[in-house]
Amino acid sequence: MQLLNLDMSKRYSYADYLTWADNVRRELYEGFIKLMSPAPSSIHQDISLNLERYFINFLYKKKCKFYHAPSDVRFPKDKTNTDDKLTYTVVQPDIYVVCDLAKIDKRGCLGAPDLIIEIVSAGNSKRDIKDKFKIYEEYGVREYWIVFPNDELVYVYLLDETGKYKEKDIYERGDKIPVNIFNGDLEIDLNEVFE
């Protein structure tokens, strides 16, 4: 398919986003298009699959569900008005977990997931570290992990009572990360994630 000729300086809504019939992966940050890398590296995919394995096993027959990219997470400014024409922020996290299943619909997730994990790639580090950090904090994602494949590090941030992220810890190969939204009932061994 041919790339659409979209004006990158124009503000778009999720309703516009739904009309773009090509295979280009995009996100919207406050209505402005951010193009995504066409395909993640094999290291990125290996890490994602290793993390997913933990969530698949742990969440079997539980009320929370996990999803992985590409899957849209929409953040409407006004939670009482979820009209697609008024939703300007849409992201595709590498992995996310939702425990309020009323947020899940056929198009993905409407509202803040409980946990989001982003795996940094060379072309998206600023987005994950700065841009998405601000978006996830603003919309109330309770736990945010940023995975650095080359350094074999994971930064974990938790939303505090004031609605701001506090760095919980930095984990490295050899550590086990407790998943805070599950009160530590799930621990992820980074030796297995980075193998």
Is residue 130 domain-resident?
yes
77-132 tens-digit pLDDT: 887 778 899 999 999 999 999 999 999 999 999 999 999 999 998 767 777 789 99
158-188 tens-digit pLDDT: 999 999 999 999 999 999 999 999 998 999 9
Q: How far apart are the first and last CA of the chain?
A: 36
User: 143 Cβ partners below 8 Å, 6+ apart?
Assistant: 114, 115, 116, 156, 157, 158, 159, 179, 180, 181
* pLDDT at 3 exceeding the cut of 60: no
Burial, 95: exposed, middle or buried (Cβ in 10 Å; 0-12, 13-18, 19+)? buried
Is residue 61 domain-resident?
yes
Question: Cα-atom radius of gyration of the chain, to the nearest Å?
Answer: 16
Is residue 28 domain-resident?
no
Domain residues for the domain of 124 are: 40-193
- Round to whole Å and give the CA distance between 34 and 19: 16
pLDDT at res. 39 = 75
pTM of the model: 0.93
pLDDT at res. 1 = 43
The C-alpha torsion from 184 through 188 and 189 to 195, rounded to 10°, is -170
Task: Give me the mean pLDDT over the 18-29 stretch.
Answer: 89
User: 163 Cβ partners below 8 Å, 6+ apart?
Assistant: 137, 140
Residue 126 belongs to domain with CATH number: 3.90.1570.10
Is residue 84 domain-resident?
yes
If one counts the domains in the chain, the total is 1
